[in-house]
Amino acid sequence: MSKLWGGRFTGSVDPVMERFNESLSYDKRMYRADVRGSQAYAKGLVQAGVITEEESEKIHNGLEQVLKEWQDGTFKIVQSDEDIHTANERRLAEIIGSAAGKLHTGRSRNDQVATDMRIWLLEQVDTLSALMKDLLKVTIARAQSEIDHIMPGYTHLQRAQPIRWSHFLLSHCGFFISDLKRLQDLRPRISVLPLGSGPLAGNPFAMPRDLLQKELGFDSLSLNSMQGVADRDFIAEFLFWTTMVMVHISRLAEDLIIYSSSEFGFVTLSDAYSTGSSIMPQKKNPDSLELLRGKTGRVFGDFTGLLMTLKGVPSTYNKDLQEDKEPMFDAAHTIENSLLVLQGVISTMNIHPENMRRSLTDDMLATDLAEYLVRKGIPFRETHHISGSAVRLAEESKISLSQLTLEQLQSLSPKFEKDVEEVFSFETSVERRDVVGGTSRRAVLEQIETVKAVLEK
Ligand code: ARG
C-alpha cells in the first residue's frame, strides 16, 4: 500500500532527504586520503588477526584500482553512494568480491572521516606552504631590485614620512612570514590520528594503532576515542589561519588598489590581472585585487560558519559534523587561488617611481627638521614645536618648507645653521632610519636576508 502522504515519496528515503544527506558531491575530493586510510587499516587488520595477509593484499590492490579510477575520471558514482567512504567500499566490493566486506571491521565512518580529513588537510598544508614561499620569493625579489625607489609612507592615509618602496613591500612580507610560521605550527595538531577509535568507544579488535600511525606518517595518536571522532578543532584552526591570511592579502590588495588609482599612479597592474569596463573605454580596473579583498569575507564566513556548527554538538559524532567539509574545501580552494593570483599580480605589475617621487613633499621632512634640532641639543618636545612653526610659516608664505631662508628659520630658533639644508633630502631621511627594521638601504637589505633565511628553512 502506498503511503498516505504518497506523492514524491517513492522509496524508503525521501529523494529530497537523499540529496540533503549526501556528501559525495564534495567529499569525493578526499578519494586519495580515503584509499590511503583504508590501505593502512587493512594492514592493521592483519596484525589484529582479523584478515589474512592475502586478503589485505587483495584489498590493497583493489583500492589502488579505485584510486586509479578516480584519477583518470572513470569512477562511476551510483545512486546509493552517500559519501566517499561508502562509494569506495562499494566499488572495492565490485572489484575484489567478499574480502571487501571485512575492511570495515571495527572501523566506523566516524573515525574514518576524521582520519580522511586530516590526511587531506596535511597535503594542503604542504601545498599552501609552498605557495606562501613562492609569494614571498617573488615579493623580496622585487624589493631587492627596486630598492632605490623612495615613496611616501602613510599613516591615516596621509603622507607621513619617506620610505623605500621595498620597505613597503617588506612590511607585507612580515605578515606573510608570520602566516607561514603559523601554518607550520598547525601541522602537529592536524597530524593526530583518530583511526582506531571506532564509532566512539574504541576498536574492539586489538587494532595496533601505533602501526596505523606509522603507516600514515602521523605525528601522534588521538588520546581518547570519543574525542577522536568529535574533534574538528584542527579545521577551525585551519580556517582561522586562512582567514588571517586573507585579511593580510586584503590589506595589501587595498594598498595596491589605492596606489593604482590615477590619483596616486604608483603602480599599474598588468593586463593579465585587470579588466576593462564594458562602457567606459578609458578604464582599467584592478579586479584581481578587488576579488582578493572580496573573497576575504567569504573565507571569514567559512570560519565563523564552522564554529557555529560546532557549538552545541553533543559528544562524539553527530551529522552536524558533515557540515565541516564544505567550509574547509572552500577556504582551502579560495586561499590557494588567492595566493596564486596575488603572486601573479606582484610579479607582473609595473611601478612608477617618478610618480612616487613627485608625491614626496618637503613637509614630510618636518620630523627630520625637528630631529636636526635634537642633534643640536634641544629637547624633542621643543623641536617638534619649532618645526611645526616652520611648517606654518612656509604655509603662510605659500612656499615649501625647504624654501624657507636660513634667516626665517633662525627667527624660530638660533640653533639653525647653514647645514640645515642637508635635512631636505629624502635620501638622507630614509638613510637615517638605519635601525633593524628601518627603511635605510642597509636595513632593508637586512630584512630581505632575514626573509630569505626563513624561506631556506
Ligand atoms: N559523510 C559523513 C560525514 O562527512 C561520514 C560520517 C558518517 N557517519 C555517520 N555516523 N553517519 O560526516
- Inform me whether the pLDDT recorded for 433 exceeds 50: yes
Q: From the CA of 379, how far away is ligand 1's center (Å)?
A: 70
Instruction: Yes or no: say if 176 and 89 are a contact pair by the CB < 8 Å rule.
Output: no
User: Which three cell numbers, joined as nine digits, stand for 418?
Assistant: 647653514
User: Which three cell numbers, joined as nine digits, stand for 294?
Assistant: 572580496
User: Which three cell numbers, joined as nine digits, stand for 250?
Assistant: 586584503
Q: From the CA of 320, how far away is ligand 1's center (Å)?
A: 9
Q: Which residues are catalytic?
A: 156, 277
Instruction: Yes or no: say if 242 and 332 are a contact pair by the CB < 8 Å rule.
Output: yes
Confidence of residue 13 (pLDDT cuts 50, 70, 90): confident
Residues 6 or more apart whose CB falls under 8 angstroms from that of 219 comprise: 187, 188, 191, 192
Task: Look at residue 134 in the predicted model and tell me its pLDDT.
Answer: 98
Ligand 1 surroundings by CB, under 6 angstroms: 23, 27, 83, 109-110, 113, 317, 319, 321-322, 325
Residues 6 or more apart whose CB falls under 8 angstroms from that of 332 comprise: 121, 124, 128, 238, 242
Task: Look at residue 275 in the predicted model and tell me its pLDDT.
Answer: 85
Residue to mutate (ligand 1; options 24, 38, 88, 113; most atoms within 8 A of CB): 113
Q: What does DSSP say about strands 150-155 and 158-164: parallel, antiparallel, or unpaired? A: antiparallel
Task: Look at residue 283 in the predicted model and tell me its pLDDT.
Answer: 79
- Inform me whether the pLDDT recorded for 344 exceeds 60: yes
Distance from chain centroid for Cα 10:
46
DSSP label at residue 435: S
Confidence of residue 190 (pLDDT cuts 50, 70, 90): very high
Would you put residue 312 in left (φ > 0), alpha (ψ -120 to 50) or beta? Answer: left
Confidence of residue 2 (pLDDT cuts 50, 70, 90): very low
Q: From the CA of 309, how far away is ligand 1's center (Å)?
A: 15
Q: What is the pLDDT of residues 197-220, one digit of tens each?
A: 999 999 999 999 999 999 999 999
- Inform me whether the pLDDT recorded for 282 exceeds 90: no
Residue at grid coordinates 498516505: 4
Q: What is the pLDDT of residues 23-40, one digit of tens each?
A: 999 999 999 999 999 999
Closest atom of ligand 1 to 83 CA is: 1
User: Which three cell numbers, joined as nine digits, stand for 453?
Assistant: 633565511
Taking residues 39-63, report their average pLDDT. 98
Q: Considering only CA atoms, which residue is closest to atom 12 of ligand 1?
A: 322
User: Which three cell numbers, joined as nine digits, stand for 93?
Assistant: 566490493
Task: Please state, rounded to an integer, the average pLDDT across all residues of the chain.
Answer: 96
Task: Look at residue 1 in the predicted model and tell me its pLDDT.
Answer: 39
Q: What is the pLDDT of residues 398-413, one digit of tens each?
A: 999 999 999 999 999 9
Q: Considering only CA atoms, which residue is closest to atom 4 of ligand 1?
A: 322
Task: Look at residue 3 in the predicted model and tell me its pLDDT.
Answer: 45
Q: From the CA of 189, how far away is ligand 1's center (Å)?
A: 22
Closest atom of ligand 1 to 82 CA is: 1
What does the alpha-carbon distance between residue 214 and residue 153 come to, in Å, rounded to a whole number? 52
Confidence of residue 276 (pLDDT cuts 50, 70, 90): confident
Task: Look at residue 10 in the predicted model and tell me its pLDDT.
Answer: 61
| Length of the chain as a residue count | 457
| Total-model pTM | 0.94
Instruction: Yes or no: say if 81 and 199 are a contact pair by the CB < 8 Å rule.
Output: no
Taking residues 318-346, report their average pLDDT. 98
